[in-house]
Amino acid sequence: MIAQRAIPTFTHVRIALVSTPFVAVPPRGYGGTELVVYELVRGLTGAGHRVTLFATGDSLGPDLRFVYPRPVWPPDRQAELHHCAGAARAIARERFDVVHAHAPAMLPLASALGAPLVYTLHHARDERLTRMYVRYPEVQYVAISGRQAALEPELSCQVVHHGLDTTCYPAGRGERDDAVFLGRLVPCKGPDVAVAAARRAGLPIRLAGSVHPLDTTPEWRATLAAALGRRGVQNLGPVGGARKMELLGGARALLMPLRWEEPFGLVMVEAMLCGTPVIAFPRGAAREIIDEGVTGFLVDGEDDMAAALARVGRFDRDACRRRAHARFSAGRMVSDYERIYLAAAGLGPVGPEETSYAG
- The model's pLDDT over 252-295, given as tens digits with 9 standing for 90+, comes to 999 999 999 999 999 999 999 999 999 999 999 999 999 999 99
pLDDT digits (tens, 9 = 90+) for 87-129: 999 999 999 999 999 999 999 999 999 999 999 999 999 999 9
Q: Does the pLDDT of residue 9 top 70, yes or no?
A: no
Helices 301-311 and 191-201: angle between axes, nearest 10 degrees: 50
Is 6 within a domain? no
Q: What integer best gives the mean pLDDT of the chain?
A: 92
Do 159 and 41 lie in one domain? The reply is: yes
Do 70 and 200 lie in one domain? The reply is: no
This prediction has a pTM of 0.91
| Residue whose C-alpha is closest to residue 248's, from 193, 312, 330, 169 | 169
What is the rounded CA–CA span in Å between residue 97 and residue 100?
10
Instruction: Specify the CATH number for the domain of residue 77.
Output: 3.40.50.2000
Residue 181's domain comprises: 167-327
Do 177 and 261 lie in one domain? The reply is: yes
Do 321 and 350 lie in one domain? The reply is: no
More confident residue, 357 or 223: 223
pLDDT digits (tens, 9 = 90+) for 22-50: 999 999 877 899 999 999 999 999 999 99
Do 317 and 339 lie in one domain? The reply is: no
Do 30 and 60 lie in one domain? The reply is: yes
Q: What total of structural domains would you count in the chain?
A: 2
Q: Does the pLDDT of residue 206 top 60, yes or no?
A: yes
Q: Mean of the pLDDT values across residues 333-348?
A: 92
Where helices occur in 139-283 by DSSP H, the ranges are: 146-150, 191-201, 218-228, 241-249, 266-273
Is 8 within a domain? no
Q: Does the pLDDT of residue 185 top 50, yes or no?
A: yes
Is 7 within a domain? no
pLDDT over 70, % of the chain:
94
Indicate the range of 2-11, 106-115, 208-217, 298-307 predicted with least confidence. 2-11
Do 140 and 27 lie in one domain? The reply is: yes
pLDDT at 349: 59
Do 197 and 303 lie in one domain? The reply is: yes
SS (H, E, C) 288-315: HHCCECCCEEECCHHHHHHHHHHHCCCC
What is the rounded CA–CA span in Å between residue 145 and residue 160?
7
211 phi/psi in degrees, rounded to 5: -95, 125
List Cα–Cα distances, 154 to 135, 141, 148, 247, 334, in angstroms: 11, 11, 12, 40, 26
Is 129 within a domain? yes
Do 159 and 175 lie in one domain? The reply is: no
